[in-house]
Amino acid sequence: MPKLRVHNLSISLDGYVAGPDQSPDNPLGVGGEDLHTWIFDTDYGRGMSGAAATGEDSVDQRYAVEGDVNIGATIMGRNMFGPIRGEWPDHSWTGWWGPNPPYHHDTFVLTHHPRPSVEMEGGTVFHFVNDSPEAVLKRAFDAAGGQDVRLGGGSATVRQFLRAGLVDELHLAQVPLLLGAGERLYDGLGTLPGYECTRVDSAPKVTHLTFTRRAEH
């Protein structure tokens, strides 16, 4: 059965996945970029920035790569897609990633203000949807053609799908720093019955925690 998976979600010790005061010049908020140093230092991260690979095979590199394996569609929140809030002033904003985003498949952006789909270079198509998590996930599974679906941020989007019990695997990269404010993951989740920690791996800059939904849920 195809799964809904969260990968490489960097999180501070106090539960924040982005810092406060997000803006076009500071998309991850104040201090938020420090959450992602671990992945930028991998060959995976170097490839995203156009830097030369080193041929490493670290714990962090393996986790970074796993997030793309067998993924046929992506779901993300509007805050991850861009900094614009409320009604779209126009359709000129097409994401943080330039003309060729790294997804290369159908990508569903949750928003209360739908707009026409946008086809990008490399096969990425952004669809702007205003529907329940269950309905959006069904569309994403259909688009994935039997592969898994990856759930991106931000924190509000991941919380929605966790509360609905739809996330099959959740990988958190816990970074040893405190942000104190920003976008927090753990608020309003209750006890999350049905999830258990099934994998823990420590690396110099981060601890990787994988939570799996039990089959009976």
- pLDDT at site 94: 94
Average pLDDT, stretch 144-172? 95
Whether the per-residue pLDDT at 123 is higher than 70: the answer is yes
Domain ranges of the chain: 4-19+29-83+100-213
Give the pLDDT band (50/70/90) at residue 216.
Answer: low
Mean pLDDT within 80-100: 91
Integer angstrom CA distances of residue 149 from 2, 107, 216: 7, 10, 20
| pLDDT at residue 12, rounded to an integer | 97
What percentage of the chain's residues is helix, strand, coil (to nearest 5)?
25, 30, 50
CB 143 within 8 A of CB 70: no
Portion of the chain with pLDDT greater than 90, in percent = 76
Which of the two residues, 82 and 216, has the higher pLDDT score? 82
According to DSSP, residue 23 is labeled B
Residue 217 has pLDDT above 60, yes or no: no
- What class does CATH assign to 4-19+29-83+100-213? alpha beta
- Token pair listed for 127: 């669809």
- Between 217 and 84, the higher pLDDT residue: 84
Q: Is the separation of the CB atoms in 157 and 76 below 8 Å? A: yes
Q: From the DSSP assignment, how many helices (H) and strands (E) are in the chain? A: 6, 11
| pLDDT, average across residues 166-170 | 96
